[in-house]
Structure 1
Amino acid sequence: MQKSKAEASSANPGVLRIIKKYPNRRLYDTDTSSYITLAEVKALVMDNEHFVVRDAKTNDDLTRSILLQIILEEETAGVPIFTEQVLANIIRFYGHAMQDFMGSYLEKNVQIFMDLQNKMTEQTKGLNPEVWKQFTNVQSPMMQGMMGTYMEQSRSAFTQMQEQMQKNSEQMLAALGLKR
C-alpha cells in the first residue's frame, strides 16, 4: 500500500528524503515507494521538504542538477525570473576570482528576500483580494517600508562581502610578503 505525501513526510519528520534517479531518467521516491515526476520534486521544494536526489547506480548526489532542471523548465515555460542579461552576467562569474563571493552574495540576498516574503505573507493572512492588491502596490507606505528594509539588508550583505574580500586580499598579500 502506497503512503500519501502527507503521511510520508509526517512519518519521518526531520529525516532526509531520498530520491533515486535511474538510468532511464525516472525518479524514485524511497519514502512513498513510487516513481515521481519533476513536477512532484518541485512540489517537495515548495513544501520545504528536505531531500536528496542520488544516482541509483553510483550514489552520486544529483540534487543540484535536478533543481537546475526544474529552474530551466520554469524559465522556459512562463514568465522568467532571469533576464538574458542576468544569466549572461552569472555565466561571466564562473571561473572568475569573485565566483565564491557572488554565490554567497546571491544566496544571502535570496534568503533576505524569502524572509521578507514570509513576513509579508504572515502579515497579510486573511486579506481579501482588493486589500491585498492595495497592500502590494509599490507606492503603499507599508510596501515601501518593507522594500527599504530589504534594500538595507542587501546593502549590508554587499558590505560584508566587500569587507571579506578586503580581508582575503590583505591575507594573500601578507602571505606573499607584500604588505599594504
Structure 2
Amino acid sequence: MPEQQPRLIKKYPNRRLYDTKTSAYITLSDVKDLVLAREHFNVLDAKTSEDITRSILLQIILEEEAAGIPLFTTELLAQMIRFYGHAMQGMLGKYLETNIKSFIEFQKKLQEQSQSLYGESSSQMQSDMWSQFMNFQGPAMQTMMATYMEQSRKMLHQMQDQLKTQTRTLFTSIQIPGFGGDKPTKDGDQ
C-alpha cells in the first residue's frame, strides 16, 4: 500500500490555520487532535511555503504547559535551553527522542499485559485501569523512573567524557608547529 501524502495545513498571515483536506479553518486544538490521532500532517506558511510544523507543535506544547499540570519543570527547561548552541545539542535531541520511544514502548507493554489479564475492554476502561495502576504503583514507578533517569544522566555524562577524551586525543596527535605539540630541547632550542 503506497504511503499517503501528509495532510496539508496552511497558516495565513491572519494567524488562521486552514486544513486543505476538509477545506475549513481549524484551531490549534484541532491540530492537537490530529497529533493524538497520529495523523501525519505538515503546516506551511501560506505566504512563503515555509514548513512551520515544528513551530505549531511547540505552540501546542506551550498551551498544554500553561493550561494544566506542566510536564516540564523550570529546571528541565533551563537545562534544555543551555544545550542550544552546545556541541552536544544534536546528541541531546536524539537521546531524548530515544528515551521517549523507550517510555512509549514500556507503556504499550503495560497496556498489552493489562489486556491479556483483563481481556479486551473499552478505551475508557483501559484509561481508568492505567490511572488506577499508576495510583497504586505511583511510588514504585517514580522510583523506577528516577533510577532510569539517573542511569540515563550517567550515560550522557560518560558520552560527554568520551567525546572530550577523543577530541583531546585527536588534537594532541596533530602536530601544529609552534602550538603545544613541539617540545623544546634541554638547551632551549626547538
Range class of TM-score, shorter chain = 0.7 to 0.9
Sequence identity (%): 50
Distance 1:165 1:15, change over 3 A: farther
Paired position in structure 2 for 1:87:
77
Question: Which one has the largest radius of gyration?
Answer: 2
Shifted more, 39-48 versus 96-105: the winner is 96-105
Q: Which fold has the larger relative contact order, with Cα–Cα distance below 8 Å and residues 6 or more apart in sequence? A: 1
Residue of 20, 37, 47 corresponding to 1:30: 20
Partner of 1:46: 36
* Count of matched residue pairs: 163
Q: Which amino acid aligns with 2:38?
A: N
Distance 1:51 1:22 in 2: 16
CA shift for structure 1 position 114 = 1.4
Change (3 A) 1:128 1:102: closer
Q: Residue 177 of structure 1: CA displacement? A: 3.5
Q: 1:140 to 1:84 in 2, by over 3 A?
A: closer
Taking only aligned residues, the RMSD between alpha carbons, in angstroms, comes to: 3.4
List runs of 5+ in structure 1 lacking aligned partners: 1-11
Q: TM-score, normalised by structure 1?
A: 0.72
Residues 17 and 175 from structure 1, CA distance in 2 versus in 1: closer, same or farther, beyond 3 angstroms?
Answer: farther
Matched, 1:151 2:148: yes
SS of equivalent residue, structure 2 residue 137:
coil
Relative distance call for 1:97 and 1:167 in structure 2 (3 A) is closer
What per-residue deviation string (whole Å, max 9, x for no partner) do you get for residues 93-117 of structure 1?
1112221121111111111111222
Query: What is residue 90 of structure 2 aligned with on the other side?
Result: 100
Q: Residues 27 and 135 from structure 1, CA distance in 2 versus in 1: closer, same or farther, beyond 3 angstroms?
A: same
* SS of equivalent residue, structure 2 residue 38: coil
* Structure 2: segments with no counterpart, 5+ residues: 116-120, 176-190
CA distance in 2, matches of 1:84, 1:140: 22
Q: Which moved more, 1:62-71 or 1:122-131?
A: 122-131
In 2: Cα distance, 1:16 partner to 1:51 partner: 5
Change (3 A) 1:135 1:21: same
After the TM superposition, which of the residue ranges 158-167 and 34-43 deviates more from structure 2? Answer: 158-167
- Whole-Å separation in 1 of the counterparts to 2:79 and 2:55: 20
